[in-house]
Amino acid sequence: MSAVSPTAAAGKNNISELQAERLRAARWFLVPMVLALLIVAGWPLYRTIYFSFTNASLTDLYGAKFVGFDNYLKWTTLKSGKVLWGGTLADPAWWNALWNTLRFSFVSVILETILGTIVALVLNAEFKGRGLVRAAILIPWAIPTIVSAKMWSWMLNDQFGILNDLFVRIGLIDAPIAWAATADTAMIAVWMVDVWKTTPFMALLILAGLQMVPKDIYEAAEIDGIHPVKVFFKVTLPLIKPALMVAVIFRMLDAMRIFDLIYVLTPNSSSTKTLSVISRENLFDFDKFAYGSAQATLLFLILTGMTLLYIWLGRVRLDGGDR
């Protein structure tokens, strides 16, 4: 059995001390960020949860009284024996908003992930002018969401919209359609705008993962004569899975709390109204501050639960590796 030399032992101790010193320094650097996060996010979240258990209104925030879970679910039994249900969880408008949020999020994230992967594969290839193309592809993402919504509302207008004219000319539709104003097509219009705007974001995150894949793997596959499609599914996709899963988490969180695009593109449309929109309406438009706070709290709980479930099912580690 070989003994460890004093020099090697001293070297290990120095490395351990250096790592410990770096860890202590990193913790001190994290303190300002944690404090800022508690002030910017923690305090508003606490106040929102607090108001959800009161009868607060905009005109009387500080005189609010505790009402328990009445804003979430309550019931009243009449003398006839009939039970009247109330609260957010008994509100059909809230369940409709939840359904709109879920279907918007899942469809948009799936489309953006597929299209973003395709765009990332193209941008990862070597060709002349690649840097210019990479910069140009980010333009839709750089445009403010409100500007994008107004721009697309004009293009989708049934009277003077350029897209309606184009669709009629190529035979996709027989007559102009008021995409954003019709219940059957309003969500389709929202999907179109969101996919156009956010696909570059997904492409950027996936491209970062693709650039971490060693090029010699592709060279070896090319020498062995393996088909590029098989290389993608057997080699590329498993290697970029951690980056892809993190990108989907970020995008899903952003999609679940969608507000500005729908509020501008399809105002007052029950077919596209999401959880954020209905919460804002109750908070400010209808002066049901406590009721809106309960809806906002439920949205936070839904986002937290979906994120934890997604990380567990997808075996995602936030440090970029597989569990």
Distance of CA 78 to the CA centre of its chain: 43
Would you say residue 100 lies in a domain? yes
Distances (CA, A) of 121 to 138, 165, 232, 240: 15, 33, 10, 11
Phi-psi region of 17 (alpha: psi -120 to 50; beta: other; left: phi over 0): alpha
Q: Is residue 65 part of a domain?
A: no
Contact in structure between 240 and 210 (CB atoms under 8 Å): yes
Number of domains within the chain:
1
Could you tell me if residue 76 is inside a domain? no
Q: Tell me if 22 is assigned to some domain.
A: no
| Any domain includes 224 | yes
Q: 150-185: buried (b, 16+ CB within 10 Å) or exposed (e) per residue?
A: eebbebbbeeebebbeebeeeeeeeebbebbbeeeb
> 255 lies in which domain range?
92-314
Beta strands in the chain (DSSP E): 74-77, 83-86
CA-nearest of 245, 182, 204 to 120 is 204
Domain for residue 306, yes or no?
yes
pTM of structure: 0.84
Give me the tens of pLDDT residue by residue for the chain, a chain 323 residues long.
Answer: 445 455 545 555 556 788 888 888 888 888 888 888 888 888 999 999 999 999 999 888 888 899 999 999 999 888 888 888 999 999 999 999 999 999 999 999 999 999 999 999 998 888 888 888 888 888 999 999 999 999 999 999 988 889 999 999 999 889 999 999 888 899 999 999 999 999 999 999 999 999 888 888 888 888 888 888 898 888 899 999 888 988 999 899 999 999 999 999 998 889 999 999 999 999 999 989 999 999 999 999 999 998 888 878 776 555 545 45
Question: Is 3 within a domain?
Answer: no
CATH code of 299's domain? 1.10.3720.10
Residue 26 lies in a domain: no
Q: Compute φ and ψ for 218, nearest 5 degrees.
A: -65, -35
